[in-house]
Each structure stands twice: as structure tokens, then as C-alpha cells.
Chains A and B, each alone.
Chain A
Amino acid sequence: MRRKQILAMAWGNMKLRRFRTSLTTLGVVIGITAIIGLASLGEGFRVTIKQQMEQGFELNVLTVMSGGLLTGVPSFFTDDDIQNISKIDGVILATPLIQKSDVKLFNDDKASTPLVMLAVNFSEFWTIYTDRLVFENGSLPQSIKNDTTVIGYNVQYYTENESFAYPGQNITIQMTLRRVPPPARRENFTFNLAGTIGKSGAAGFINFDDTVFVPIDTVRKLYNTSSSDMIFVRLANPSYSDVVAKKIEDRFGAEGQVRVLVPATFLEQVETILSMLQIFLTSIASIALLVAGLGIMNIMTVSVMERTREIGILKAIGARSRTILAIFLTEAAMIGLIGGAIGLPLGYAVAQVMGRFLFRFSAEVTPKRSIITGSSTHPLSEVSPILTPEWVVIAIVFAMGVSILFGWYPARKAAKLDPVKALRYE
């Protein structure tokens, strides 16, 4: 039979039972809307998270911590360890870091509480984070003195709309010195503020905005130690990450002695989780499409019964079983195609609306600071859904596939009708 005529017959039948066909098609529309809505929202969410995380991680910086606790055992690394790490191929720079959390800052009568005091080698540390640690006021002096200090954004603006201190001013840092034997005692030290940095966000577990930076040599002297808590390692190229991380771990012998935070790997893991989430959500949405498929099966079984006589006539005058099958499958495929074609833009539109409102709402109820996004500068307030060509193809193929699959049984039944019995059917 001519293709055009098969199409015309299928279309004619759909038109004749307009209301019924519309309802069946609506099922497919809902299914595809759900799939595309969730898929494009999931894709947008994934890309947004990825971008924010890439901003939160320098891919060419590894953080070496001792094994065990979240941020490792303090005072684990010696200067020899740092020397050894800096000799590994692909490592440009390895620099130590000591972090202390029980500190307070004073500027005359003004007080500010940083979450953490980072003792670093200023020139090395700023070499690693040049792009991130940008000065809002002042700058890093040519020669670092024992009392040089730099404060983060949240420290500077601890009191809203009021600066804590200006470059050149002396500020007091109160440290809690733990001695053996205890008790610990609090002591005040005067530092000279070199500058304040703008909003910088977090790198791994450290949020630079809540930080006061001081020279590591000074802290080592005050705390009477020669070790450090973490090592920051800058690589020539992020692609060396895994190899260098492995070498560092090997250098410390027994397994679990140190942990190397590899941002690239971490990003990959997060991305894998987000992809799985996306697939999981779309799988659930697919159930809606399967239900639509059952609707098609139901409606076509009824249609075959109603058209039994017509099928008998066609077969009697010389229509092959295959032609009958084609007429019914074409009808099913067209329902799938139309449903998919409507559901596709509809799903994307729904995703747009949800992306705009759903995440805005959740941004208001969740805390501004999270360990994953680190930065408090860009809360996840909006997600732009992304519709990739792959999903367009998947949706249309899936819509037509499900329709044809569920249309197959009734179409087969029609094709196998005995013409004599079909002609007698009232």
C-alpha cells in the first residue's frame, strides 16, 4: 500500500476519534514533559554546581593532610616532608600551613572574630592563590616582617558596613597558647595590617573570607613548634594530580597516613553523583510515559474492535497483514510523535519556571555557607535548565518507541483477524 495512504488512513482514524486520541496523546505529553523537565533541570543543576565548584577549587592545587580527622592531625608535617614533596616531578611549589581556630582580633575598642588564623609563608601562599586572594585594600609588602598580617573579607566587615581596620594600622591578635603542662593561656600580640582581601570563597575546607593570615615563622616561634598542619602543593598541570597524589601518599609509607585532596577527583565524584541523580529522576519520570503507553494499548485495542469490519473489508479486497499492522502502528507512532513534540517544549518551559522559583525558595531556607560551594558570594538561587540535543533525540525516540511498543499488541491483533469472521462482525 502507498505510504501516503497508510498515513492518511491512520490520520483519518485519529481525527474521527478526536477526543479519545487527544486524551491518549495527553498521556504521552505528560510523560515527555516530566522527562524533559527533570532532565533539563538536572542538566542545568549539574552544570551550575560544577561551575561553582570549579570556582571553589584550584584544580592545580593539591592539599595534603594527615589521615584521620576531617582536617587531619595537627603538627604532622616536618620541613623535610615539604622538601621531599617539592622534589616530586610536576610539583612547582609546596608550602606549609598551620591553622589555629581559637583566636580573637582587636582594634582598640573594636573586636572581630575570625573563624581561623592561617599561618603561611606569604610569598609562597600568594603564588599559589594569586588569582583568588586579591587585595581590596593595601597589598603584600615587598619584605614580610614578623608582625605582617592580612585579613579576609568577613573579618574586615565583621560589623556590618564598618571596616575593622585599615592598612598600616596595628591590630591585636589574641592567641590561645597551649603549653605542656596545661593550662593554656591567652596572650595578646600586636600585628601590622598590610591589607585586606576581597571576597575569595573557599578552597577545600578553608574559607579565606573568615581568615586572618600571619607569617608561619612567627607562629612557629610563639607556639614553639617546627612542624605544620597541612601542605599546599601547586602543580605545573592539573593532569598530574593523580600521579603526584599517589607519589605523596607513597612517600609517607603506611596507608592512611596522609590524605591528599585532589580537586579534580572530587569534582569527578560529585559530577558522577549528580549524573546518577539526573538519571534516577528521569527514570521515575519515565514511569509516566509507560502509563501513557498502557493508555495507547487500551485505546487501540478498543479501536481495533470497533474497526473489525473495516479491517475485514481491507483484508478481503487484498490488504496484506503487514499493511493492516502498518496502519495501526502508524497511528501509535503519530500519537507518540505528536505527544513528544508537544511535551518537549512544555517540559523545557516547566523546567524554566521551576528553575527560577524552586531554587530561589530553597536558597532562602538553606544557610548561606556550604562546604560544597564554599563561597558565600553565589548562593544557588537560580538554575537555568539545559536541554541538550541528546535529550531531544532520546525524548522523541522514547515517546515513539513506547507508543509503538504498546501499540504492537493491538495492531498485531488487527493484522491477524480472520477476514471472514471480521466481515461478519457487527
Chain B
Amino acid sequence: MSSALETRNIKRTYQMGKVTVAALRGVSLEIKEGDFVAILGPSGSGKSTLLHVLGGLDRPDGGEVLIDGISLYALNDNKLTDLRLQKIGFVFQFFNLLPRLTALRNVELPLTLANVSEQESVKKAGEMLELVGLGDRVTHRPTELSGGEQQRVAIARALINDPKIILADEPTGNLDTTTGGEIVRLMQRLNKEKRQTFVVVTHDPSVAENADRILFLKDGLIQGEKKGFGGMHH
């Protein structure tokens, strides 16, 4: 199986006033296509920074990120933006839906940005909402949806462009345990059904334990790895 994502020795430091914070201190990892990987770490371990760097949102100070064999940060801003649109789907802790758009329009947004015709994009967005179990919430706006429903919309939006990889940043962090469990199960189902690669960053071991692989991040370094329940079923 080829690798969907590969990093080589990524480093990222921040300037916080006069203090230099080393958020990532040389992270190298490889994620195979179709894998469901959890990156587990305490807060302040550099999880979010790593996810942003993996997703092409934050240029590292050193190292390389390859998605589908393409070195992200060798691209200019426009090419990098286009690559995010084509190959990466994001799921955030705070859902990050556009408040004024309906569920359907939110899901459709990446297709709109990619200049897909309205007729086609509306049809696909409808199907995707059906897939995440929100076929009856198409015309609802984010404020009219529960947290779990909003996160489902966000997942549908992340999947709509059929990306190479889905990057989720604490996807259950803003949900109660039951709903969080449902969201994790949904992502796992999509991982199995659509052979979609998932990388989930979390501090919650109960979320991580169902992944195929669990990577432990601490102090800006991968400190270890083990198989999750998902991996054991293979």
C-alpha cells in the first residue's frame, strides 16, 4: 500500500513575545492510504500545530510534508491552496461551518470553490448529507443543528471533494461523550466504506483507542506508537 502522507523531520517554532517555543522538534511519520490514524497527546504537545502543518496551513521551519507524493511547501501559496481544496479535508473541534449558509451550501462549498457546476454540486452535497445521516437537515442552518449534527455537516464538507486525506482536530472535543462516540464511529464507517484515509488528533484516549494506529506526541516529538482496536480487527 502506498503512503498517503509522509513527513520528514518537521520543525516548527513560534515566537511568543521574547520566548521562542519549539512546537515541533523533528516529526517524521508515514501514513498509508486507507489507514485510520490517531495522534494522541496532552494539550501543549504540538498536536494542532502538527495538524496545521500536515494540512498545508502552516509552513514549517524545516522538514518536508508529502501528500500523495507532492511536497506541500515547495508549492507557492496558490498551488498550495488548490492542493488543500483537492486533496485535504478538514474537520475542526468547533465545526467551523459558515453560519449564514444552510447545511447543503456548507457541504457544497468546496465544490463551489472548485468551480463545479451548481447542479452537480448540489446533487453531490445532498448525497453526502444522506451518507452522514442528515438527509432531513439539508436546509437547516448551523444554529438550527445540534453539535453532533454540525460536526456531521463538517465531515460531509471534508469528504465532498473526495480528498486523499481527512485531517480531524479534536473532532469530539466540543461534544458530549455519547455524541462524540457517534462521530468517531461515523468516521470509522466512512474509513471502511470509502477507503478514505483519516488522521485524528486528540487528547482523549477513548477516541484514539479505536484507530488502526495510535501515535504518541509529546513535547513536539513522536514518542511511540501502538496498534489500536481498529488495527487489531484487520
| CA–CA, A316 and B169, complex, Å | 13
Convert A414-426 into 0s and 1s, putting 1 for each residue whose CB lies closer than 8 angstroms to a CB of B: 0000011001000
| A16: chain B residues within 8 A (beta carbon) | 100
Q: Which residues of B lie under 8 Å from residue A420 when comparing CB positions?
A: 52, 57-58
Is B85 in contact with A318, judged by CB distance below 8 angstroms? yes
Q: Digitize B161-173: 1 where CB-to-A-CB distance is under 8 Å, 0 elsewhere.
A: 1000000000000
Partner of B112, one of A1, A313, A321: A1
* Minimum distance in angstroms from A21 CB to a CB of chain B: 14
Q: Which residues of B contact A315 (CB under 8 A)?
A: 81
From the candidates A12, A309, A310, A319, name the one contacting B113 in the complex (CB within 8 A).
A319
Q: Find out whether the CB atom of A12 lies under 8 angstroms from the CB atom of B90.
A: no
A2 to B97, CA, bound (A): 19
User: CB distance B96 to A313 under 8 Å?
Assistant: yes
Could you say which residues of chain B place their CB within 8 Å of the CB of A312?
96
CA distance A13 to B98 in the complex (A): 12
A320 with B90: in contact, given A2-B115, A16-B100 (CB under 8 Å)? no
Contact A423 B92 (CB under 8 A): yes
Q: Is the interface of A mostly helix, strand, loop or mixed?
A: helix
**What's the least CB distance linking B108 to chain A, in Å?**
9
Tell whether A318 pairs with B78 under 8 Å between CB atoms, given A2-B118, A5-B112, A423-B96.
no
Q: Are A318 and B96 in contact (CB under 8 A)?
A: no
Residues of A with C-beta under 8 A to B113: 1, 314, 317-319, 323
In the complex, which residue of chain B has the Cβ closest to the Cβ of A13?
B100
For residue B110, which residues in chain A have a CB less than 8 angstroms away from its CB?
317-318
Does A317 contact B57, Cβ atoms closer than 8 Å?
Answer: no
- Contact flags (1/0) for B84-106 with A, using CB distance below 8 Å? 11100010100011111000000
Pair A317/B100 contact, Cβ less than 8 Å: no
Residue of B nearest to A310 (CB): B98
A4 within 8 A of B: yes
Q: Is there an interface contact between A316 and B100, defined as CB atoms closer than 8 Å?
A: no
Q: Could you say which interface size class chain B belongs to?
A: 20 to 34
Docked CA distance A321–B77 (Å): 9
Interface residue? B82 (CB, 8 A): yes
> Please, how many residues of chain A have a CB less than 8 angstroms from a CB on the other chain?
24
Point out the residue from A5, A318, A321, A423 that lies within 8 Å of B84, measured CB to CB. Answer: A318
B158: min CB distance to chain A, Å:
8
Q: Quick check: A319 and B81 within 8 Å, CB to CB?
A: yes
Which chain A residues border B58 with CB–CB below 8 Å? Answer: 420
Q: Is the CB of B77 within 8 A of A318?
A: no
Whole-angstrom distance between the alpha carbons of A12 and B96 in the complex?
18
Nearest CB on A from B155, distance (A): 13
Residues 1-15 of chain A: 1 if any B CB is under 8 Å from the residue's CB, otherwise 0? 110110000001100
B114 within 8 A of A: yes
Task: List residues of A (8-46) whose CB comes within 8 Å of B's CBs.
Answer: 12-13, 16
Asked if B157 lies at the interface with its beta carbon under 8 angstroms from chain A, I say: yes
Most buried by A among B82, B112, B157: B112
Selected contact of A12 from candidates B52, B92, B100, CB within 8 Å: B100
| A318 near B114: Cβ-Cβ < 8 Å | yes
- Per the 8 Å Cβ criterion, residues 77-118 of A in contact with B are none
Residues of B that sit less than 8 Å from A by CB = 52, 55, 57-58, 77-78, 81-82, 84-86, 90, 92, 96-100, 109-110, 112-115, 118, 157, 161
CB<8 Å pairs between A and B, sample of 5: A13-B100, A312-B96, A318-B82, A318-B86, A323-B113
Q: Which A positions have Cβ atoms within 8 angstroms of B?
A: 1-2, 4-5, 12-13, 16, 309-310, 312-323, 419-420, 423
